[in-house]
C-alpha cells in the first residue's frame, strides 16, 4: 500500500505496521493514542518519514533493539532516537563509510532493482553521529504511547544492550535478532561486541519465565510472526544439544571473519570456537 522499491509496508493490524527494508530487516510501527513507536531503523537507504506520515500523523519515537548497522544506521534520517546504553558504542563503531559501502555493494548485487533509488556516495558518506540526539532506555522501562504501554526487556547475548519490546496490552513481543526462526543469530564477534553463550542462555531463561505475558513474537528478520517453540528450541540448544552435536557444524565465512554454523530445529547459530570453548569449559576438537 505505501511500499517503495526499498521498503515494503504491510499492515498487520489497525495499530501495527511492518516496514521491511530490502527484503531483509523488519522494522515495526506501533501506533498508540498519543504517539507511535518505530522499532528499528534499518540501514536507512531511504528516509521512511514519508511512509510513516501516510500511516499516522502522531509523533514518532524511534527505539532500536540493538546497535548493529542493519537496525541502527537508519537513525541518520531521524533527529533523535532511543537505545540501550550498552549498545551505543557498538552503533557508533558501525557509523562508518566502510560499513555502509560493504553491505550496500552486496545488497545492490542481490537487488539490482533498488540501484536507481540510492545515491551510493551520498548514502555512504552520511554519519548519524554528527547531529542526531541520543536517549537511553533501561531494562523494564515502560514507553507510554497513550493507552498502549511497551516494556523494554534487556536480553543480552547477540549484543550486550539488546532490547526486546513487549507491548503489554496485546502481548506482542518484538524480539529483535535474539529470537528468530530459521535465520542466523550471530554470536561470533569478539567479546566487546557479543556476550558469552551463558549470558544469552540467562536472557532466554528469563524470557521463558515470562512467556505467559506474550502471545505473539515478531522478530527483526525472516519469518514473522514466529512460534513460541523457537524459544524452547534455542534454550534446548544451549542447555544440551549444542555440546552433543557441535562436531557436525559447518564452516561459516563472512566479511567479519570465520566461524561455525550450527543447525537445530528452528535454530541457526553462528559462533566461534572461542565462544564454544569458554561455554563448555574445555578445549574442543573437531576430529
Q: Using an 8 Å Cβ cutoff, are 135 and 82 in contact?
A: yes
Task: Give buried/exposed letters for 88-126 (b at 16+ CB in 10 A, else e).
Answer: bebbeebbeeebbeebbeebeeeeeebeeebeeeebbee
How far is the CA of 224 from the CAs of 41, 228, 235, in angstroms?
17, 12, 20
Binding mask 225-244 for Zn ion (x = CB under 5 A): --------------------
C-beta separation of 156 from 162 below 8 A: yes
Backbone dihedral angles phi then psi of residue 76, each to the nearest 5 degrees: -60, -20
Judged by beta carbon, residue 68 or residue 151, the one nearer Zn ion is 68
CA–CA distance, 248 with 242 (Å, rounded to integer): 10
The three-state secondary structure class of 9 is: strand
**Min dist. Cβ of residue 145 to Zn ion (A):** 24
- Rounded to whole angstroms, the Cα distance separating 31 from 17 reads 9
Rounded to a whole number of angstroms, the minimum distance from the CB of residue 15 to Zn ion is 24
According to DSSP, residue 226 is labeled B
- What does the per-residue mask of binding to Zn ion show for 167-186, with x meaning CB under 5 A? ----------x---------
Asked if 68 touches Zn ion (CB under 5 A), the answer is yes
Q: Which is nearer to Zn ion, 54 or 256 (CB)?
A: 256
249 φ/ψ angles, rounded to the nearest 5 degrees: -70, 160
- Minimum distance from residue 161 beta carbon to Zn ion (Å): 11
Nearer to Zn ion, 32 or 159 (CB): 159
- Per-residue interface string for the shown chain with Zn ion, residues 131-170, x marking contact by CB under 5 A: ----------------------------------------
User: 127 or 183, CB closer to Zn ion?
Assistant: 183
Separation CA 136–CA 116 (nearest Å): 36
Beta-carbon contacts of 254 under 8 Å, excluding residues fewer than 6 positions away, are: none
Window 95 to 134, contacts with Zn ion (CB under 5 A): none
Contact window for Zn ion (CB under 5 A) among 27-35, 68-76, 91-99, 126-134: 68-76
Beta carbon of residue 230, minimum distance to Zn ion (angstroms, whole number): 16
Report if residue 70 touches Zn ion, rule: CB under 5 A: yes
Toward Zn ion, which CB reaches closer, 25 or 231? 25
| Cβ at position 26, least distance to Zn ion in Å | 9
Contact (Cβ atoms closer than 8 angstroms) between residue 57 and residue 26: no
* Minimum CB distance to Zn ion smaller for 15 or for 177: 177
Q: Which stretch binds Zn ion (CB under 5 A): 37-45, 66-74, 118-126, 130-138?
A: 66-74
Tell me if 193 contacts Zn ion by CB under 5 A.
Answer: no
Closest CA to 255 of 115, 72, 105, 64: 105
Q: How far is the CB of 97 from Zn ion (least distance, A)?
A: 20
The size of the interface with Zn ion (CB under 5 A), counted in residues, is 3
Interface with Zn ion includes 87 (CB under 5 A)? no
Dihedral sign (CA 227, 230, 232, 233):
positive
Beta carbon nearer to Zn ion, 32 or 94: 94
- Residues forming the site for Zn ion (CB under 5 A): 68, 70, 177
Amino acid at each position: 500500500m505505501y511500499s517503495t522499491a526499498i521498503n515494503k509496508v504491510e499492515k498487520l493490524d489497525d495499530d501495527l505496521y511492518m516496514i521491511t527494508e530490502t527484503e531483509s530487516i523488519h522494522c515495526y510501527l506501533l501506533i498508540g493514542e498519543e504517539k507511535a513507536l518505530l522499532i528499528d531503523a534499518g540501514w536507512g537507504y531511504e528516509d521512511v518519514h514519508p511512509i510513516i506520515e501516510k500511516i499516522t500523523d502522531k509523533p514518532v519515537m524511534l527505539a532500536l533493539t540493538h546497535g548493529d548497522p542493519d537496525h541502527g544506521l537508519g537513525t541518520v534520517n531521524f533527529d533523535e532516537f532511543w537505545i540501550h546504553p550498552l549498545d551505543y558504542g557498538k552503533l557508533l563503531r558501525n557509523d562508518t563509510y566502510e560499513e555502509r559501502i560493504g553491505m550496500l555493494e552486496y545488497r545492490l548485487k542481490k537487488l539490482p532493482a533498488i540501484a536507481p533509488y540510492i545515491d551510493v556516495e551520498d548514502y555512504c558518506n552520511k554519519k548519524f553521529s554528527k547531529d542526531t540526539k541520543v536517549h537511553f532506555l533501561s531494562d523494564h522501562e515502560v514507553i507510554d504511547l497513550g493507552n498502549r504501554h511497551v516494556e523494554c526487556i534487556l536480553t543480552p547475548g547477540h549484543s550486550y544492550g539488546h532490547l526486546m519490546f513487549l507491548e503489554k496490552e496485546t502481548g506482542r513481543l518484538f524480539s529483535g535478532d535474539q529470537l528468530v526462526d530459521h535465520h542466523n543469530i550471530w554470536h561470533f564477534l569478539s567479546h566487546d561486541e557479543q556476550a558469552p553463550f551463558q549470558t544469552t542462555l540467562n536472557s532466554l531463561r528469563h524470557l521463558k519465565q515470562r512467556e505467559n505475558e506474550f502471545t505473539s513474537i515478531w522478530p527483526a528478520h525472516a519469518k514473522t510472526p514466529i512460534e513460541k517453540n523457537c524459544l524452547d528450541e534455542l534454550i534446548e540448544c544451549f542447555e544440551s544439544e549444542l555440546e552433543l552435536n557441535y562436531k557436525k557444524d559447518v564452516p561459516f565465512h563472512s566479511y567479519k571473519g570465520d566461524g561455525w554454523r550450527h543447525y537445530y530445529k528452528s535454530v541457526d547459530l553462528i559462533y566461534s570456537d572461542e565462544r564454544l570453548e569458554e561455554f563448555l569449559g574445555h578445549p574442543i576438537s573437531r576430529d
